[in-house]
Structure 1
Amino acid sequence: MKRRDFIKRSSLASGALLVPSFLQAFDKIGMSIFQGKRLVVIQLTGGNDGLNTVVPFQNDIYYKNRRGIALPPREIIKLNDEVGLHAGLKELKELYDQGYLSVINNVGYPNPDRSHFRSSDIWHTASSSSEYLQTGWFGRYLDNHAERPYQGIEIDDTMSLIMKGEKINGIATKNAKVLYETSRNPYFNELSRHQQDAHLSEHNLGYLYKTFNEAKSSARYIYETSKTFTTKVTYPQNAFGKQLKTVSEFINSGLDTSVYYVSLGGFDTHANQLGQQGRLLKIYAEGIKTFVEDLKANGTLNDTLIFTFSEFGRRLKQNAAGGTDHGAANNIFIIGNKLKKQGIFNAMPDLSDLDANGDIKFNIDFRDLYATMLEKWLQVDSERVLLGNFRPLNIL
C-alpha cells in the first residue's frame, strides 16, 4: 500500500470528526508529502575542542601549548598540507572528499560567555551575550513561518529553549509511538471530555487546552506518517545513532517538518581529553556518514542541510589534568550536497593573536550562519527570526 493511501485510511483521517474543527487542519496537511527544505542542527554539547578536531598540524604554537594532548601528524587525517582531521573523523573525511562538507573556522560572538548553560542559551536564542531572550530561533521560525508544532522537532524527551516560540512550540520526542501512546492517556481524554461536556466554542478554548490538543494531534500525525517508512540502513548502536535514525525515518516518510534539533553530549573535556574526545568524535562521524548515506539512498539528501556546532571551543593551552578549559570561538561543520564552497571555508585561527583569556578570537558571527541557512536554504526573512540584520555568507 502506498504511503498516501495508508494515511487516508488511517485514524489520522478517520478520526477527524472526533476533534474540534481547528484540529482537523492537522489531518488535511498530513495528506500531502512534504516537498520543502529541511535543516538538521546538531549540537556537540559541552564545548568540543575545535583545535583537536580540525588540527593545524604545521603550527608550532599548537604543539608548544599542548605538549600532552597535541595530535601528532602521523595520527591526523590530512585535508591539505597544513590542516587535518582528528583520526576519529575518518567517515567525515569521506564526506569531505565527496564535496559534502564545509568547515567554517573562528565562529563565535562578541564578549563570549564561558558558561555551558548561558552560551548554549545564546546559541539557541540567537541573542547577544547581554540579551536574555525567552524564545529560541527555531521557535521564532515556527512563529513566523509554520502553522503546526510538528514542523519543528527536537529528538529528545524534553524540549530545549531553541524550540520555544511565542505562539508555537516545537515537539520533543525520541520515539513517535511512545509520544502517540502518551498523548492517548486518560488525562488527555479527560480534557477532551470536559470540553465536550461544557459545550465550549472554539473561540473560548483556553490556551492550555488548545496547547494540549495541538500536542495530541501532532503526536498522532507524527506517528501515523513516520510509521510508513522504516530505514533499511543499519545505524550505529548508540544513542546518537538512534537519534539520527529517527530523523531519517521522519524525513523519508515525508513528515511536514522543516527543522530538527539533535545533540550529542560529553564534550566537556577538562581532564583526560584524548580518549574521551576521540570516542565521541568517532560516534559523531559514524552516525553522520550513515545518516547522509540513508538520505542519499532515499533521494532526500538534496533537500537536507546538516549544521553542527558546539556552544564554545576550548582554550589553546592545555591544563594540568590533560584536558582543556572553556574557550570561545570554534569551528562548525555544514554538510549537504548543495554547497557552493566545499572544504575549508576560511582561514584557520591565528594562534599568535588570542584574546585576553588566551582564547581564539571570532571573526564570523554565528548569527551570520543562521541568516545564511534561513535566507539561502529555508528561503525566509531572517531578520524577523533573528531579531536583527545579519549577513548571509556565500556557502549555499
Structure 2
Amino acid sequence: MKRLIVDAHLDLAMNAMEWNRDLSLPLAEIRRRESNMDDKPDRGKGTVCLPALREGKVGLVVATQLARFRPASYTPTAWNSPQQAWAMTQAQLAWYREMEALGEMVQITDSAGLENHLALWADESKADSEKPVGYILSLEGGDSLVDIDYLYRAHDYGLRAVGLSHFGPGRYADGTKTSGRIHQQGLELMKVMGELNMILDATHLTDEGFDQALDAYDGPIWASHHNVRAIVSNQRQLTDEQIKKLISRGAVIGGMLDCWAMDIRFIDTVSDPWQLDIRLEHLVDHWDHICQLAGNAEHIGIGSDLDGIFGTEQSPWDMDSIADLQKFEYILQGRGYSEQDIDHIFSGNWLRFLRQAWNK
C-alpha cells in the first residue's frame, strides 16, 4: 500500500498559465501536445499533472502563486510593474478555483480542513484516482504584493505561506544570486504576516536576509524547497548553521529534485542526468546530512519543485513523473531509515508542522 505524500513546493498554476498546460490531462497527453514546441527548454518533458499526483498518492501539496517584478537592472522573465505581477497571481488563483470547480483540487486553509482532507485520503473505500488533490496556497516571492495591504486581500482568499524573495533583486527582499538584507518594506510585511499567523518560507533568502528573518519573525517558519550547501556549495543551499537555526525553530526542510541542487557536477542546460548518473538517492545524501545535525528524521520532507522551469532533462534519471516519489520508500529502507522515519519524511513532518502552526 502506498504511503500518503505531502509535497511542499509545486508551481502548478505557473505551469498551467504560463506554459499553457492542461494539468487535468494525463502526462503522456501533455507531453504529446508539446512534442513540437521549443519555446521553453522543458517542452514535452514535464513530470507533473493531477492524474500523476493521484497515482503517486501525493494527496496534499503546497502550491504557489509566482510573479516577479523586473527592475531595469535585471533581465530574466518578469513583469514590468507590481500591478502586472499581481494580475498574474490572480490569473493563477483563478486557475486553482477552476480546478476546485471540477473537483480536481480542494484548498486547505485551516486545521479543520486539513483533518477532513486527511480523512478523505485515508478512506480506502474510494479510489485515490477519484480524490481531489489538496493544496495550501503559498506566494513565492513577495513582488506581486503591490503594497502591504494586498497581503490582507491575499490572506482572505486563502494565502497561508509567503517567501519574501525569489531569484535576483526583489521589492521586499533580495533573493538567490544576490546579497543584502531584507528591505524595510519586507520587515513591515513580516509584521503583518505575524499578525495573521502566516508561515514564512525561508527559501531563496540571501544569507543576510535569512539571519534577519529568523531573528525578526516570531511566527512559523519552514524552508519549502532547499538542499544542503555542504554537499552542493551554492548560495541557494542551506549552510549547517542555517539548518541548525531552522531545527531550533521546529522547521521542516523540503528536499528539492532539481539536479543542480543535488549534485555539484550538474550544470543547467548542459549536463545530462543519465550521463552523471544522478538518481533519486542523491537527495537522501542531503536528508542524511540534515538528520545528522538534528539527531532525528523529524525536520526533513519533500519539496520537490518538480516542473519548476525544468522537466526530465534536469531531474533524476530514475524519475519519469512525480508519481515516482513513491520510490523513496525503498531507497530510504535501503539506507536504514525506520518505517516511522519514512512516514515522517513522506508526510508526517509537514503535517505535524501544520497542526502546530494552525492550532495556536
Q: What TM-score, normalized by structure 1, do the two folds share?
A: 0.32
Which protein is bigger by CA-based radius of gyration? 1
By relative contact order (CA 8 Å, sep 6+), the higher-ranking structure is 1
* TM-score relative to the length of structure 2: 0.34
